[in-house]
Amino acid sequence: MGAGGGFLGQLLLALAYAAWQPQAVRGLFLRSSFSGSRPELARYMAPWLDWLGEAGRHTLGTAAVALQQLLCHGETAVCEAGSTAVAFDALAQDARLASAWAAFDAGQSAPGGVQAAQTRWQGFAASATAGELWDWRIFLHQARQGWGVGSAGVVSPPAMPGPVWLVHGEADAVCDPMTSARLAAAWPQAHWVRVAGGAHAMSHPPMAAALQQAAAEWAAALA
């Protein structure tokens, strides 16, 4: 899964729980760390409008710009796109926008994202599936709520007495590798696994191999 759905919220929930109940947490294993900050989301969405191209922007209309404003500028109720206001609920119900975002997110989950692959929006081959719509609405809801941590993200990571493994692909276009770098600096005991050429997708072969090895090492450290 890319940035969509509950994955990012789950990662932040793990950090929040570790801060709230440190005695109940023996360690953390985090893949593609995300702290919920606006700069991280702005980095993820940076190629969105170029990826859509003129045809995609025309097809989606003001919703395309409204989505980027919602994610990158922290609008919480209404996104201004030119002179037209686009309500948040309208974005959440827009199946065409959900379908386009699912394709964009899949492209961003590849090594270097859509910019490295130089891919563009290819039109609507099909409407968004039920799963894509569900994923889309969860993503928008969490983004609208600031991922539960506000626009600055997780500023002070919780103290962690147990083993911490951070696995992050160096070619991750969804979650900024610098977030793992900041967490590694906050946790001196952390094992920061930087996967050369690794994408965001767990199915990417370098990431899959690194995650399998790191998980075995982390489990052994917990024993």
Tokens representing residue 192 in the block: 């920061």
pLDDT (tens place) for every residue of the chain, 223 residues total: 344 444 566 677 787 778 778 888 888 999 998 887 888 888 999 999 999 999 999 999 988 988 888 777 654 434 444 434 567 788 888 888 988 998 999 999 999 999 999 999 998 766 777 878 888 888 888 777 777 666 555 656 777 778 999 999 999 999 999 999 988 888 888 999 999 999 999 999 999 999 999 999 999 999 8
Q: Where are the alpha helices (DSSP H) in 118-204?
A: 130-144, 177-186
Cross-strand pairs, 31: 167
pTM of the model: 0.86
So where are the chain's domains?
7-39+154-222, 41-148
- Establish how many alpha carbons lie within 13 A of residue 106's alpha carbon, considering only the half-sphere containing its beta carbon: 11
**Please, which residues have CB within 8 angstroms of residue 152's CB and are 6 or more apart in sequence?**
37, 38
- Tell me if the domain spanning 7-39+154-222 has CATH number 3.30.930.10: no
